[in-house]
Structure 1
């Protein structure tokens, strides 16, 4: 069942977190999505301080010079972003962040508090460390929905077909709520379950029926697809089914199991974060 108390909200502010070394591709995706939604774009350009080596590394001249150069490069990058956004005529703001590696997620999380959607563009998707900082700051600190746009994908906030990955867990329910407006405006939504447990305290006697009824009450055209894993991972089944039904985006809950278990043994969230080929909207 969908829990009480959540709200679907129109997207009015998009936070785009970019690494200072690669901004162009991510900024292009962000501006396109902002135009689609008529949303304000908040661009956050992040540079991570170099890790000191040795006991007195932070006092060395070389480390200080490197830090100063990084700060200059970050300022130049933020200036470029401001100039590009000024030409786009979008409502926007730009901020830069120079931070130690261990603290980036907290800073990103603070800014995500004031956004309706956080974007991981194609360049950050390929930067494993930066990607994890955004995921931690967005999903775990603020609970904001996270749109992941892998390279060579076509992200949109006006999808015609949505695949909702469903496992009857609260994280899936929260993701469904956060994507409700997208699904209402879509032509069709495929509620997709992989090896569901047809039990009262699991997926119910008729897996997917409850969430399909909930979505149908919002006028959503729903199809329930129950699929066998057949030796494949859940992430592989979901991605292939998304291709089969021509889905524009996969909506899913993040870390349905404990995060520690996901990190140790893997899981759907981890697989999607590493190998997604289509845009993925994650909620938690």
Structure 2
């Protein structure tokens, strides 16, 4: 798995140690690392007088300049970390409203092979969800969350449901599946159909992956009274998964897409590294 371009989405508070580890892993594996520093634009206050006239605080331009300078200072620091690690790549900076983060992230994701979200983005959950939506619903690549770019992936748990999203996730994650020592295709409450793989869901996927040289096992699990996300987490932990691969789903709302319940839960949990695609 060489010469991939990885989009690493972070903010000014992402730790140097995490950035350096990602850069060193990228350099070792021949990847290009694009560090995207997301910053929240200052809230635009408008005070309305009793007479209906709106006024902007006198120090508004100073607040904006301060945010921009802080962001630019961090860009230079991250550039220095990349140079020290001999990693190929560059550092990009975006300051925007939370609602616009998805479009900013998507713009860079469209010319990368994979995106990874820094763990500390969880401190700003709205930004985290918007960044994830930008990758998943506005770009063609997969998204990794939890763990580290430097992590070695030996055991992969694939949550398979015969959907287009699950198939997209499989294709996007194929480099990891090929390099893994063991891959488990897991169907939760599978629907047995007469066509395709009939009474044994997942066997067609296993055949395809086996042709790529993957060591594949197929299993079906009942959810019982558990939610789908809880069942995935429990079975993946039993398997000892280093990575969970699954399709991402959303709900249409106006012209945007919001994360579906299972997708949102898997992004919000912190116990398992997850690779998603839509």
1:17 aligns with 2:20: no
Q: 1:228 to 1:73 in 2, by over 3 A?
A: same
Which is richer in strand? 2
1:198-277 map, 5 Å: 198-200=192-194, 204-255=198-249, 258-259=251-252, 267-277=261-271
Over 3 Å counting, the alpha-carbon distance change for 1:13 and 1:189 in structure 2 is same
Tell me if structure 2 keeps the 8 A contact 1:190–1:224: yes
Alignment of 1:179-190 (within 5 A): 179-190=173-184
Q: Deviations over 1:63-117 (max 9, x none)?
A: 3222111111101111110111111111121121122333222121111111111
- 8 A contact 1:194–1:229 mirrored in 2: yes
Q: Aligned residue for 1:3? A: none
1:127-173 residue CA offsets vs partner (Å, 9 max, x unmatched): 31221221122111112111112xxx355564111001101100000
1:224-260 Cα offsets, whole Å, 9 max, x none, are 12112121111111112222111110011100x6455
Structure 2, unpaired ranges of 5+: 49-53
Contact 2:158–2:244 (CA under 8 A) maintained in structure 1: yes
Structure-2 separation of matches of 1:239 and 1:46: 29
Instruction: Indicate which of 65, 75, 79 corresponds to 1:78.
Output: 75
Q: Find 1:101's aligned residue among 95, 98, 102.
A: 98
Q: Does residue 134 of the first structure (1) align with residue 126 of the second (2)?
A: no
What's the offset of the Cα at 1:33? 4.0
Q: Give 1:22 deviation, angstroms.
A: 2.9
What does residue 173 of structure 1 align with? 167
Which protein is bigger by CA-based radius of gyration?
2
Q: Is the 8 A contact 1:172 1:283 kept in 2?
A: yes
Does the C-alpha gap of structure 1 residues 116 and 161 become closer, same or farther in structure 2, counting only changes over 3 Å?
same
Select which of 136, 160, 167 maps to 2:154.
160
Q: 1:23 to 1:63 in 2, by over 3 A?
A: farther
Aligned to 2:51: none
Which of 99, 117, 120 is residue 117 of structure 2 equivalent to? 120
SS of the residue corresponding to residue 22 of structure 1 reads coil
| SS of the residue 2:59 aligns to | helix
Give the superposition deviation at 1:19: 1.2
Check the 8 A contact 2:20/2:82 in 1, yes or no. no
Counterpart among 87, 91, 99 of residue 90 in structure 1: 87
Alignment TM-score, normalising by the size of structure 1: 0.86
Mapped partners of 1:280, 1:28: distance in 2? 21
- TM normalised by structure 2 equals 0.88
1:192 aligns to 2:186 (yes or no): yes
State the distance in 2 between where 1:143 and 1:280 align.
17
Deviation at 1:37, TM superposition (A): 3.1
